């Protein structure tokens, strides 16, 4: 059971970090959702860098 809890804690941490990274990508510095129609290409470029 202890290993299952560790695994789920690690999974939760990874999902939280991924959600924060996605949030930082799609939001502007003013805190609004980025309306750029090329945002999908921008996200891909960020991942490759």
Rg of the chain taking only CA atoms, in angstroms: 15
Threshold 0.85, pTM exceeds: no
Which pLDDT does position 49 carry in this prediction? 47
> What pLDDT score was predicted for residue 40?
66
Residue 34 has what pLDDT? 81
Structure tokens at 27: 């939001």
Instruction: Round to whole Å and give the CA distance between 12 and 48.
Output: 24
pLDDT score recorded for residue 24: 85
Q: What is the pLDDT of residues 2-31, one digit of tens each?
A: 999 999 999 999 999 999 988 888 888 888
């Amino acid at each position: 059971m202890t290993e299952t809890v560790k695994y789920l804690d690690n999974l939760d941490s990874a999902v939280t970090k991924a959600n924060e990274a996605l949030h930082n990508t799609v939001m502007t510095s003013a805190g609004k959702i980025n309306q750029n129609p090329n945002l999908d290409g921008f996200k891909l470029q960020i991942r490759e860098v």
